[in-house]
């Protein structure tokens, strides 16, 4: 076989494997809701879903008064309510507490 064909086949195999691996990382609560890739990635496949897409199913959280000594994590004293959901919440990798880049707050991000 020629080199170009081999490279094309290998690239196709890698893309198929990557797509399958990412598809398996859909969070359980989204799997339970029978969501798939096209449920969130509506503009282009594999392009990041904008926050507006998240808000088609999720509501913005109500302001809370106490987070065990931490400020309201959805109303930052630094950024207000302007942070994108994806700063903390991730679908295809582990979510993280964005505030802990500078602070140490003990709360788990789903």
Q: Quick one: three-class SS letters along the chain?
A: CCHHHHHHHHHHHHHHHHHHHHHCCCCHHHHHCCCCHHHHCCCCCCCCCCHHHHCCCCCCCCCCCCECCECCCCCECCCECCCCHHHCCCCCCCCCCHHHHCCCCCCCCC
Residue 19 has pLDDT above 80, yes or no: no
pLDDT digits (tens, 9 = 90+) for 66-108: 555 556 778 888 888 788 888 899 999 899 999 899 998 887 8
Provide the 10 A C-beta neighbour count for residue 2. 7
């Amino acid at each position: 076989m020629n080199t170009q064909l081999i490279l094309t086949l290998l690239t196709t195999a890698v893309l198929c494997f990557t797509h399958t691996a990412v598809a398996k990382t859909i969070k359980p609560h989204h799997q339970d809701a029978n969501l798939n890739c096209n449920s969130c990635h509506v503009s282009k496949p594999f392009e990041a879903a904008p926050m507006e897409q998240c808000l088609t199913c999720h509501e913005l959280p109500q302001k809370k008064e106490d987070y065990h000594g931490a400020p309201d994590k959805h109303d930052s004293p630094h950024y207000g309510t302007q942070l994108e959901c994806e700063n903390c919440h991730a679908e295809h990798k582990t979510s993280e507490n964005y505030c802990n880049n500078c602070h140490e707050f003990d709360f788990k991000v789903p």
